[in-house]
């Protein structure tokens, strides 16, 4: 993984000192609340319902074991013993005291971490494929490009006061696991006509109140021009994006207003002026960054191991877990192992200090000392020898990190919702718990197959409910918590936004409603057809009829129908 040199380290250290000064000035009354607010946000510090929340950057989801240990230390020393992984591969702490945040940042800086630009109207943490570098369907490792973008975007002099937050994602694999099409800028590494690798550039994707799928403005960008092209996009957005209305200030609104073709034309005009500037990446720099991500030396005899298959045959629980939680590796004899942060009945994405430390040890022992965060709020250990998968599973199971439900309905993405977030309309975590309680039979979950279910507590859509095959959105109805349900969303290669099934339902009726939706799927699916495909084939009508048409059990249908 990338290692700081003295430039990177100096910058992060100086950022800590700067923020310490900002906190001091605020506490001394030299900065008003309004003046301090954007400053703390640019460093990931939110004010939530009960306390501050600090969001720490995990650049493109890569964590070294010593960094994970530091996060455990922070959870224990400054927080309440746990942290929460987000859909943007970052980690949040929910209970830090403002006075101690500078110390947290100093601790982070000691392990090459920071909270820079994890919030605020600036370029946020670049996200990528959690399987980057080990996926068998990948053109090349996208992480060097993420790191190049990270450096370019860090404290950018021109783009630190944008109309609104700005998110970039990079994917290099056939299967998009980075939700590229719902980012402000999405980058796909692709092969051009001449065989060279470059980028397909999308703009204007995003969720929130006005969800949109990104549109391609350039089919092929030679890789050396990445930064000048990003700079051109950002300059057009910085100058022309709306600033009069919070809800209309994302780049997607500008792209929609101008049309993608006109937006792209303006970018090209700007780009023509800076394309051949010093921003052009030199092969030596690309290689310098790439070297940090070089693959480890894989053992040639890893595939010769017979124990893995023997355990699979002998231990049904292990085999079950492998089927759901273990992914293939591009090198024979190796596996990639998902670490579930979705135990039944617990808040999705939460992890305790003890679990972090134990996992750091396991990463050192079995996975090259690295842990990866995923946008589904799980973790991933890569480069695990197949002979080590069984003992790793036993250790993970003992830590309650081996719930065998990755990719199933129970692998719920949920935002913190009303329990923590001051913007929330409704709870998310308790809805996830109610679904966990209702759908807790593994055989049923496996029969349903791959099924992405996402729950957000408000229209800000932090849990990406628009792109859940089933999406659940908290809405406020005269002080009561109601939930709007959508079907058919996907952030994959064929990205789509979910359709609203009908009137929203009460908290206590969410699980029943989802159960009816699932009944329709199980009745109507063709062999091996995933939920999403069935929905795309048969449409909304049968689901709608089942949920609202039959007043089964009375309440769900009737009362919901009253709230059109």
Partner 1 sequence: MSEIIKHRQIVADEWRSVADDETVGTGPVIVSLARFLAEREALLARGEALGVRVPPDVRLDALAGDLPRLALIAVEFPVFKDGRGFSVARLLRERYGFHGEIRAVGDVLRDQLFFMERSGFDAFAVRPGKSLQDALAAFDEFSVTYQAAADDPRPLFRRRG
CB of residue 147 vs partner 1: minimum separation in angstroms? 11
With beta carbons less than 8 A apart as the criterion, state whether 121 and 164 touch. yes
Query: CA neighbours within 13 Å on the CB side: how many for 222?
Result: 10
Q: Binding to ligand SF4 by residue 53, rule CB under 6 A?
A: no
Q: Binding to ligand SF4 by residue 279, rule CB under 6 A?
A: no
How is residue 525 written in tokens? 């699916």
How is residue 71 written in tokens? 């996060």
Instruction: Report CA-CA distances (Å) from 81 to 30, 73, 183, 353, 355.
Output: 33, 9, 32, 5, 10
CB of residue 240 vs partner 1: minimum separation in angstroms? 8
Contact footprint for partner 1 (CB under 8 A): 5, 7, 10-11, 14-15, 17-18, 21-22, 30, 35, 38-39, 121, 151-152, 154-163, 227, 235, 238-239, 243, 273, 277-279, 281-282, 285, 288
Nearer to partner 1 (CB atom), residue 278 or residue 306: 278
How many CB atoms sit inside 10 A of residue 81's CB?
A: 12
Q: 415 touches which of ligand SF4, partner 1, none (CB within 5 to 8 A by kind)?
A: ligand SF4
Nearer to ligand SF4 (CB atom), residue 108 or residue 207: 207
Task: Pick the closest to residue 378 from 417, 416, 337, 345 (CA basis).
Answer: 337
Alpha helices in 419-470 (DSSP H): 429-438, 442-448
Alpha helices in 367-420 (DSSP H): 386-398
Nearer to ligand SF4 (CB atom), residue 16 or residue 421: 421
CB of residue 195 vs ligand SF4: minimum separation in angstroms? 43
Nearer to partner 1 (CB atom), residue 28 or residue 297: 28
For residue 387, the SS3 value is: helix
Q: 461 touches which of ligand SF4, partner 1, none (CB within 5 to 8 A by kind)?
A: ligand SF4
Size of the site for ligand SF4 (CB under 6 A): 13
Nearer to ligand SF4 (CB atom), residue 211 or residue 417: 417
Measured over the CA atoms of residue 148, residue 363, residue 93 and residue 401, the dihedral's sign is positive
CB of residue 421 vs ligand SF4: minimum separation in angstroms? 3
CB of residue 86 vs ligand SF4: minimum separation in angstroms? 9
CB of residue 248 vs ligand SF4: minimum separation in angstroms? 18
Q: 378 touches which of ligand SF4, partner 1, none (CB within 5 to 8 A by kind)?
A: none
The dihedral over CA atoms of 239, 244, 249, 254, expressed in degrees to the nearest 10, equals -60
With beta carbons less than 8 A apart as the criterion, state whether 142 and 172 touch. yes
Q: 210 touches which of ligand SF4, partner 1, none (CB within 5 to 8 A by kind)?
A: none
Q: List, edge to edge, every strand of the sheet that includes 82-85.
A: 45-47, 52-56, 91-93, 82-85, 350-352
Cα–Cα dist 7/48, whole Å: 34
Place of tokens 């894989």: 298
Q: 442 touches which of partner 1, ligand SF4, none (CB within 5 to 8 A by kind)?
A: none
Out of 423, 475, 500, 538, point to the residue binding ligand SF4 (CB under 6 A).
423
Q: 417 touches which of ligand SF4, partner 1, none (CB within 5 to 8 A by kind)?
A: ligand SF4
CB of residue 473 vs ligand SF4: minimum separation in angstroms? 8
Q: 151 touches which of ligand SF4, partner 1, none (CB within 5 to 8 A by kind)?
A: partner 1
Out of 110, 224, 460, 524, point to the residue binding ligand SF4 (CB under 6 A).
460
Out of 123, 126, 351, 415, point to the residue binding ligand SF4 (CB under 6 A).
415
Instruction: Report CA-CA distances (Å) from 561 to 88, 106, 504, 547.
Output: 35, 54, 8, 10
How is residue 297 written in tokens? 């030396």
Cα–Cα dist 309/515, whole Å: 36
CB of residue 21 vs partner 1: minimum separation in angstroms? 8
With beta carbons less than 8 A apart as the criterion, state whether 543 and 487 touch. yes
Cα–Cα dist 210/250, whole Å: 10
Cα–Cα dist 472/229, whole Å: 36
Which residues in the 425-444 window bind ligand SF4 by CB under 6 A?
Answer: 428
CB of residue 389 vs ligand SF4: minimum separation in angstroms? 35
β-bridge partners, 351: 83
CB of residue 456 vs ligand SF4: minimum separation in angstroms? 4
- The separation between CA 84 and the C-alpha centre of its own chain, rounded to angstroms, equals 12
Q: Binding to ligand SF4 by residue 416, rule CB under 6 A?
A: yes
Nearer to ligand SF4 (CB atom), residue 342 or residue 466: 466
Q: Name the residues that contact ligand SF4, by CB under 6 A.
A: 415-417, 421, 423-424, 428, 456-458, 460-462
């Amino acid at each position: 993984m990338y290692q700081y040199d003295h430039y990177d380290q100096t910058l992060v250290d100086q950022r800590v000192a700067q923020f310490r000064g900002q906190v001091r000035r605020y506490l001394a009354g030299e900065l008003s609340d309004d003046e301090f607010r954007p400053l703390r946000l640019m460093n990931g510090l939110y004010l939530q319902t009960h306390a501050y929340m600090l969001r720490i950057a995990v650049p493109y989801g890569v964590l070294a074991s010593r960094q994970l240990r530091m996060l455990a230390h922070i959870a224990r020393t400054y927080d309440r013993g746990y942290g929460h992984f987000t859909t943007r591969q970052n980690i949040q702490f929910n209970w830090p005291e403002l006075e101690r945040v500078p110390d947290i940042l100093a601790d982070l800086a000691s392990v090459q971490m920071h909270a820079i630009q994890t919030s605020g109207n600036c370029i946020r943490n670049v996200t990528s494929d959690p399987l980057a570098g080990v996926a068998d369907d990948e053109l090349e490792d996208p992480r060097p490009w993420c790191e190049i973008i990270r450096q370019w975007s860090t404290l950018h002099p021109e783009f630190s006061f944008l109309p609104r937050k700005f998110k970039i994602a990079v994917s290099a694999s056939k299967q998009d696991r980075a939700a590229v099409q719902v980012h402000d800028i999405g980058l796909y590494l692709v092969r051009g006509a001449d065989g060279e690798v470059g980028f397909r550039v999308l703009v204007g994707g995003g969720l929130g109140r006005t969800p949109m799928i990104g549109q391609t403005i350039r089919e092929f960008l030679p890789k050396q021009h990445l930064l000048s092209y990003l700079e051109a996009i950002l300059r057009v957005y910085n100058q022309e994006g709306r600033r009069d209305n919070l809800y209309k200030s994302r780049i997607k609104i500008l792209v929609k207003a101008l049309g993608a073709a006109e937006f792209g034309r303006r970018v090209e005009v700007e780009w023509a002026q800076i394309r051949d500037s010093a921003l052009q990446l030199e092969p030596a720099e690309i290689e310098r960054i790439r070297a940090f991500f070089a693959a480890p030396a894989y053992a040639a005899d890893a595939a010769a191991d017979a124990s893995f298959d023997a355990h699979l045959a002998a231990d049904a629980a292990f085999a079950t877990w492998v089927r759901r939680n273990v992914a293939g590796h591009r090198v024979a004899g190796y596996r990639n192992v998902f670490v579930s942060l979705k135990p039944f009945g617990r808040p999705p994405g939460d992890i305790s200090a003890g679990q972090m430390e134990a996992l750091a040890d396991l990463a050192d022992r079995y996975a090259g000392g690295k842990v990866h965060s995923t946008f589904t709020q799980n973790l991933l250990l890569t480069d695990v020898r197949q002979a080590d998968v069984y003992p790793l599973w036993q250790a993970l199971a003992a830590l309650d990190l081996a719930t065998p439900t990755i990719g199933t309905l129970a692998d719920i993405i949920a935002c913190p919702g009303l329990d923590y977030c001051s913007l929330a309309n409704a709870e998310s975590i308790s809805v996830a718990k109610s679904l966990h309680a209702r759908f807790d039979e593994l055989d049923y979950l496996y029969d349903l197959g791959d099924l992405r279910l996402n729950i957000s507590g408000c229209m800000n859509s932090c849990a990406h409910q628009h792109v859940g095959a089933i999406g659940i959105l908290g809405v406020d109805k005269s002080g009561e918590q109601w939930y709007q349900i959508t079907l058919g969303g996907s952030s994959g290669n064929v990205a789509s936004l979910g359709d609203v099934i009908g009137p929203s339902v009460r908290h206590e009726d969410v699980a029943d409603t989802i159960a009816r939706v699932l009944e329709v799927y199980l009745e109507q699916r063709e062999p091996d057809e995933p939920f999403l495909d069935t929905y795309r084939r048969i449409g909304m009508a049968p689901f709608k009829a089942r949920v609202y048409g039959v007043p089964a059990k009375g309440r769900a249908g009737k009362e919901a129908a009253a709230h059109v």
